[in-house]
Chains A and B, each alone.
Chain A
Amino acid sequence: MSKTLLNVRDLETKFFTQDGVVHAVNGISYHVDEGETVAIVGESGSGKSVGVMSLIRLIASPPGKIVNGSVVFDGQELMDLAEEDLRHIRGNRIAMIFQDPMTSLNPVLTIGRQITESLELHMSMNRNQSRERAIELLDLVGIPAAASRLDDYPHQFSGGMRQRVMIAMGLSCNPQLLIADEPTTALDVTIQAQIIDLVDRLRKELGMAIIWITHDLGVVAGMAERVIVMYAGFIIEAATVNDLYAQPHHPYTLGLLRSIPRLDEAHKERLVPIDGLPPDLLDEPSHCPFAPRCEFVIEKCWQENPPLETVADDHLSACWRDISEIRLELDAGLAGGAA
């Protein structure tokens, strides 16, 4: 059993806006082991990005506020840390790659300057040392002729190349934890494959842990060891990747898997969409957040929000219903539909 690197308990983030309180993250708990890849899956507005931004307190305040929770990183509580001390962790021991490589790079600074900035800041290197290290990093992420490209500006790079630069920046200080927030969403599939391949190789070489945020269940299947599914600011299911796809326990996960077309589908089957709309986060969560869209809803779902409980080894789910009953209903329903 490897050592726990990050331990998040009851993390709760709200945004106090003119329209009311947005319940973005509603008490989530999970852990990440050293060298492990954990994927956080959810739709837009499920709180997956706010959840990880809260870890390193990158929440604009006001309107945002982390109202509760504890984040222990390598034995250190981040929530009590002074801003000054946290700055030594951010970008250094915990690095982040953002979704959009087009807007996350500063257009008026050269690539070299943007990479060396954090090296000079965190590793107290001088100009020459940091420049050398930057070339090394660009080489590592597979940018051809790295030395000559250091003085280029972001607009001279393509989307995939910019994302590589972002990754190089993320890796510059040898982080123990890399948070990747939808790093491939803005890219084409062939470039996405390049980036996933690269990150996975770097993880093995450098031994860092990765939190990979995505809405794409396909990407997750290929690279993560454990998966956390979020809905309306709650973790509704968490399991090892094989368990989650083979034995999903929560109706939402089940619904997601049934609603996406697969490249390897044998013949044309009708997709089963999840009815209704994602929830409005302005509403105070009192019942199960998925109840309004759930096919298997029962009376209790409207009265109490189910807690996240162990349903099998290494498998947590937040649902009042028993999965075996749901499966029976599903089989009966499908048989009835076909007849």
Chain B
Amino acid sequence: MSEAANMNGSGEVLLEVRDLKMHFPITRGILIQRQVGSIRAVDGLDFDLIRGETLGLVGESGCGKSTTGRAILQLHRPTAGSVRFEGVELTETSGPNLRQMRRRMQMIFQDPYASLNPRMTVGSIVGEPLDVHQLGNSKTDRQERVRELLEIVGLNPYFVNRYPHEFSGGQRQRIGVARALAVNPSFIVCDEPISALDVSIQAQVINLLEDLQRELQLTYLFIAHDLSVVRHISDRIAVMYLGKIVELAERTELYENPSHPYTEALLSAVPVPDPVVEAKRQRIILEGDVPNPASPPTGCNFSTRCPKAMDRCFQEEPEFRDVGDGHYAACFLNEE
């Protein structure tokens, strides 16, 4: 809480990602494994994260958004590229130094049913990071901190001795949030934190994340497939397709002025809960499915489904470039 408090609003870069690649090998053979190809889950990402902001990362399943989050935290070691966090190059850090860095960056997982150990009490789940990083000096200190954390996320501190199965989905997600906050991180990767929750509970968790961000000056990378939620919570939004960011812009700018045909189609496909608005909207229906990331198309990744594809799109790959005021897009249409 203390170090993050010196935020001055001028836009200090907290995280710098350059040409990040994460390829998973496809192997054949039982005894002697040969690599016969690779799945290009993340294929060259460039972006910065400003301290105190929320960057939304959207895309369809399999586009590499979760892998991006994990590669940044070094939960997967990236194949290539650089990830600088608070000035430290994470891809070259390992062992105790990396563990030290992990105090500054945490993760909230998608599935609150699978990400909590069913045999541990809430107290030990939330307290574990304190033990790992040797933050609780004495037993009473530790207990005190766990109680405080539970209160911060809106759970009754009286619950410390209960087990995860005694809680509902929304409450479990709060436990996950408390665990992430235990070590006072400045950066949290939220990997679809609300998609497993009921509609009426989602708003509770979104509000909690927003309150915590304000109180603790947190920076979020918010990964989700629900564009309405991402628009609500993010300051800037990056749209991913098949391992690449195709567009990145400030939230209102992205929704009002999409510069990539994929973003346009994605936005038009999201239903709005208002029949009057829905009746007027024009939907862009994309043909077909997302190509296989083991053999992406030549040229632009989106060319196979793009309603505006030109000859050039099938041969060359468009550059991810600034089309004005920090609005980035990778499409030839913006070049005229």
Dominant secondary structure at the B interface: helix
Known A245-B274, A273-B201: A262·B265 in contact at CB below 8 Å:
no
Residues of B contacting A191 in the complex (Cβ-Cβ under 8 angstroms): 60, 289
Stretch in contact with the other chain, from A8-16, A69-77, A106-114, A213-221: A213-221
Residues of A contacting B255 in the complex (Cβ-Cβ under 8 angstroms): 263-264
Report the separation of the CA atoms of residues A265 and B207 in the bound assembly, to the nearest whole angstrom.
Answer: 16
Q: Are A270 and B207 in touch, CB under 8 angstroms?
A: yes
Task: State whether the Cβ of A271 lies closer than 8 Å to any Cβ in chain B.
Answer: yes
Q: Are B198 and A265 in touch, CB under 8 angstroms?
A: no
Task: State whether the Cβ of B26 lies closer than 8 Å to any Cβ in chain A.
Answer: no
Indicate which residue in B168, B229, B269, B273 contacts A257 across the interface (CB closer than 8 Å): B273
Task: State whether the Cβ of A222 lies closer than 8 Å to any Cβ in chain B.
Answer: yes
Task: State whether the Cβ of B267 lies closer than 8 Å to any Cβ in chain A.
Answer: yes
Contact with B along A216-242 (1 / 0, CB 8 A): 111111100000000000000000011
Q: Are B204 and A218 in touch, CB under 8 angstroms?
A: no
Q: Are A218 and B270 in touch, CB under 8 angstroms?
A: yes
Q: Are B228 and A262 in touch, CB under 8 angstroms?
A: yes
Task: State whether the Cβ of A255 lies closer than 8 Å to any Cβ in chain B.
Answer: yes
Most buried by B among A161, A192, A222, A270: A222
Indicate which residue in B231, B275, B285 contacts A194 across the interface (CB closer than 8 Å): B285
- Least CB distance, B165 to chain A, in whole angstroms: 14
Q: Are A241 and B266 in touch, CB under 8 angstroms?
A: no
Q: Are B232 and A256 in touch, CB under 8 angstroms?
A: no
Indicate which residue in A197, A242, A245 contacts B273 across the interface (CB closer than 8 Å): A245
Task: State whether the Cβ of A308 lies closer than 8 Å to any Cβ in chain B.
Answer: no
- Least CB distance, B64 to chain A, in whole angstroms: 14
CB closest residue in chain B, given A257: B273
Q: Could you tell me which residues of chain B, from 222 to 237, have a CB within 8 Å of some CB in chain A? A: 225, 227-229, 231-233
Q: Are B207 and A221 in touch, CB under 8 angstroms?
A: no
Task: State whether the Cβ of B315 lies closer than 8 Å to any Cβ in chain A.
Answer: no
Q: Are B267 and A259 in touch, CB under 8 angstroms?
A: no
Stretch in contact with the other chain, from B38-46, B85-93, B113-121, B276-284: B276-284
Contact with B along A247-265 (1 / 0, CB 8 A): 0000000011101111111
Count class of interface residues, chain B: 35 or more
Q: Are B60 and A273 in touch, CB under 8 angstroms?
A: no
Contact with B along A35-63 (1 / 0, CB 8 A): 00000000110000000000000000000
CB closest residue in chain A, given B279: A222
Contact with B along A80-108 (1 / 0, CB 8 A): 00000000000000000000000000000
Indicate which residue in B210, B231, B286 contacts A263 across the interface (CB closer than 8 Å): B231
Q: Are A273 and B274 in touch, CB under 8 angstroms?
A: no
Q: Are A190 and B265 in touch, CB under 8 angstroms?
A: yes
Known A188-B61, A188-B225, A194-B286: A261·B206 in contact at CB below 8 Å:
yes
Task: State whether the Cβ of A268 lies closer than 8 Å to any Cβ in chain B.
Answer: yes
Most buried by B among A43, A263, A268, A272: A263
Task: State whether the Cβ of A274 lies closer than 8 Å to any Cβ in chain B.
Answer: yes
Q: Could you tell me which residues of chain B, from 104 to 122, have a CB within 8 Å of some CB in chain A? A: none
Residues of A contacting B274 in the complex (Cβ-Cβ under 8 angstroms): 221, 245, 262, 264
- Least CB distance, B268 to chain A, in whole angstroms: 8
Residues of B contacting A270 in the complex (Cβ-Cβ under 8 angstroms): 207, 210
Indicate which residue in B203, B206, B232, B285 contacts A265 across the interface (CB closer than 8 Å): B232
- Least CB distance, B283 to chain A, in whole angstroms: 6
Q: Are A189 and B200 in touch, CB under 8 angstroms?
A: no
- Least CB distance, B252 to chain A, in whole angstroms: 8
Task: State whether the Cβ of A158 lies closer than 8 Å to any Cβ in chain B.
Answer: yes
Report the separation of the CA atoms of residues A260 and B231 in the bound assembly, to the nearest whole angstrom.
Answer: 12
Indicate which residue in A43, A246, A262 contacts B272 across the interface (CB closer than 8 Å): A262
Q: Are B273 and A215 in touch, CB under 8 angstroms?
A: no
Known A193-B285, A261-B231, A268-B232: A219·B271 in contact at CB below 8 Å:
yes
Q: Are A215 and B231 in touch, CB under 8 angstroms?
A: no
Residues of A contacting B278 in the complex (Cβ-Cβ under 8 angstroms): 221-222
Task: State whether the Cβ of A160 lies closer than 8 Å to any Cβ in chain B.
Answer: yes
Task: State whether the Cβ of A27 lies closer than 8 Å to any Cβ in chain B.
Answer: no
Known A161-B289, A271-B203, A277-B170: A221·B271 in contact at CB below 8 Å:
yes
CB closest residue in chain B, given A217: B273
- Least CB distance, A37 to chain B, in whole angstroms: 12
Q: Are A188 and B227 in touch, CB under 8 angstroms?
A: no
- Least CB distance, A60 to chain B, in whole angstroms: 23
Residues of A contacting B266 in the complex (Cβ-Cβ under 8 angstroms): 189-190
Q: Are A273 and B199 in touch, CB under 8 angstroms?
A: no
| Interchain residue pairs with CB less than 8 A apart (6) | A189-B227, A190-B285, A219-B271, A221-B272, A261-B203, A272-B203
Q: Which 3 A-B pairs have the closest CB atoms?
A: A218-B271, A261-B232, A273-B203
For the A-B complex with A268-B232, A274-B203 known, give 9 more contacts whose Cβ atoms are closer than 8 Å: A190-B269, A192-B269, A193-B268, A221-B274, A222-B272, A255-B200, A261-B206, A263-B228, A272-B203
Interface, chain B (partner A; CB < 8 A): 60-61, 168, 170, 198-204, 206-207, 210, 225, 227-229, 231-233, 255, 265-278, 281, 283, 285-286, 289
Interface, chain A (partner B; CB < 8 A): 43-44, 158, 160-161, 188-194, 196-197, 215-222, 241-242, 245-246, 255-257, 259-265, 268, 270-275, 277-278
